[in-house]
Amino acid sequence: MVNWSKIKFVKEIPQGAVLIHMYEFRDVLRPRGHMEKESIGVYMLDKLLSTYKSWTNPKYGDNPDEAILLKLLQINMKEEMDGAFREFIRQINTTPKKDSD
C-alpha cells in the first residue's frame, strides 16, 4: 500500500520526463484499490446483477429456471465479450495510429 503522506507532487512535469501507468500491466482491466473504477469487472457485475434481477422477478410468468438462467448468462456474456474483442481487434487494425492523451 502506498503511504501518500510520503509522496511529493510536482506542479510542473520536468522536460524529458516519461509518463508511467498507475498500475502494473498484468492488472490491465482489473485494477483494484483507488483505481477500481477502471475495472471491467465492476461494469460486468452491475450488468449481471441487473439482468439476473430482471429475469427472476416474480411479477413475470416466463422466468427461466435459475440454473438455466445462470448458465445462459455465462454463455451469453462470453459470446458478447468475444464479439467485443473481435471488434476491438478489427478497429485497432483498421484505425490509423495516433498518440492519445
User: In this structure, are residues 44 and 74 in contact, taking their beta carbons and an 8 Å threshold?
Assistant: no
pLDDT tens for each residue of 52-101 = 999 999 999 999 999 999 999 999 999 999 999 999 999 999 988 776 65
Residue 64 lies in a domain: yes
> Is the entire prediction scored with pTM above 0.75?
no
Residue 9 lies in a domain: no
Residue 39 lies in a domain: yes
Domain carrying residue 60: 20-94
Q: How many domains, the chain?
A: 1
Flag whether pLDDT at 5 surpasses 90: no
In our burial notation (b when 16+ CB lie closer than 10 A, e otherwise), range 51-87 reads eeeebeeeeeeeeeeeeeeeeeeeeeeeeeeeeeeee
User: In terms of Cα–Cα distance, which of 59, 51, 58 is closest to 75?
Assistant: 51
Residue 89 lies in a domain: yes
Residue 12 lies in a domain: no
Residue 3 lies in a domain: no
pLDDT tens for each residue of 11-30 = 788 889 888 877 777 877 77
